[in-house]
């Protein structure tokens, strides 16, 4: 069975702090994909990143970075120098040998000025 | 290019009424997914289509729910009769491809917030 665990239900930080959102996944598939989505207060789901299981390189996009480690089945997301606009619910998701996307329960990030 | 379009954005109805939610996927996308989001159950996949054909409807909660995709650019999710426990945000998403060889990114619409009184 496939499963995504986001153990952090809610995180609060002050602006300019760095914050890491944890994601641990379970799958028996050898080929799989991992995703992060952002859901701001307005409600839409915004795609942030996709990684496949053969690419363990970390990725950086501006203030966002992702650390994929197969050894620990983790795909963590770090926001550097957080801003109020980063306040949202962040979902980690997994897709393997099916068409389905399995979502974690989400981590609510609140960034205070 | 326009993203996934959903209508209406908000729907308030009374218990027992029929509700129809609409979705227009991104042009050229072969897959269309319907999700429901609630506080209690998070994001749930209800049904998805490939080339307008329903592939898996195991997530549809009961017979009151039905979904159709008459063509590549339009899908509906219908609830009849609606009940208060159907209150949720319903998302439509589309992707170019999916499955083990080409699991592509799902792009989500803005959602329809349904309230059943």
* pLDDT attached to residue B73: 95
Q: How far is CA B7 from CA A12, A109, B36, in A?
A: 34, 29, 15
Å between A14 CA and nearest CA of chain B: 26
Do B78 and B92 contact (CB within 8 A), yes or no?
A: no
Q: Nearest CA to A25 among A94, A89, A107?
A: A94
The size of the A-B interface in CB pairs under 8 A is: 51
Burial of B27 (0-12, 13-18, 19+ CB in 10 A): exposed
Q: Which residues pair with B11 in a beta bridge?
A: B114
Phi, psi of A70 (to 5 degrees): -65, -30
pLDDT digits (tens, 9 = 90+) for B56-99: 999 998 899 999 999 999 999 999 999 999 999 999 999 987 55
Which residue in the set A32, A37, A99 is minimally distant from B55, CB to CB? A99
Query: Which of these ranges, A88-97, B68-77, B96-105, has the smallest mean pLDDT?
Result: B96-105
- Residue A97 pLDDT more than 80? no
Sign of CA dihedral B2, A47, A90, B22: positive
> Which chain B residue's Cα is nearest to A29?
B100
Q: What is the mean pLDDT of residues A54-65?
A: 89
Chain A partners within 8 Å of B42 (Cβ): 103, 105-106
Q: What is the DSSP secondary structure assignment for residue A95, as one 8-state letter?
A: E
Which residue in the set A32, A45, A96 is minimally distant from B108, CB to CB? A45
Chain A partners within 8 Å of B91 (Cβ): 45
- Residue B100 pLDDT more than 70? no
C-alpha A63/C-alpha A15 separation (Å) is 13
């Amino acid at each position: 069975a496939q499963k995504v665990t986001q153990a952090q239900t809610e995180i609060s930080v002050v602006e300019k702090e760095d914050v890491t959102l944890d994601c641990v996944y379970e799958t028996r598939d050898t080929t799989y994909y991992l995703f992060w989505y952002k859901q701001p207060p307005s409600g839409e789901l915004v795609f942030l990143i996709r990684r496949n299981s053969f690419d363990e390189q970390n990725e950086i996009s501006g203030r966002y970075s992702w650390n994929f480690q197969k050894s620990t089945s983790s795909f963590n997301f770090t926001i550097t120098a957080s801003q109020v606009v980063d306040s949202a619910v962040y979902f980690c998701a997994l897709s393997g040998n099916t068409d389905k996307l399995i979502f974690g329960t989400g981590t609510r990030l609140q960034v205070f000025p | 290019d326009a993203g996934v379009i959903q209508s209406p954005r908000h729907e308030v109805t009374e218990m027992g009424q029929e509700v129809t939610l609409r979705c227009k996927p991104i042009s050229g996308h072969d897959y269309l997914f319907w999700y429901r989001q609630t506080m209690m159950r998070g994001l749930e996949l209800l049904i998805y289509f490939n080339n307008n054909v329903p592939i898996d409807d195991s997530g549809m909660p009961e017979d009151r729910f039905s979904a159709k995709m008459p063509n590549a650019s339009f899908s509906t999710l219908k609830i009849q009769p609606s009940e208060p426990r159907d209150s949720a945000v319903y998302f439509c998403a589309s992707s170019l491809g999916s499955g083990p060889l080409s699991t592509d990114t799902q792009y989500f619409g803005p959602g329809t917030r349904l309230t059943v009184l």
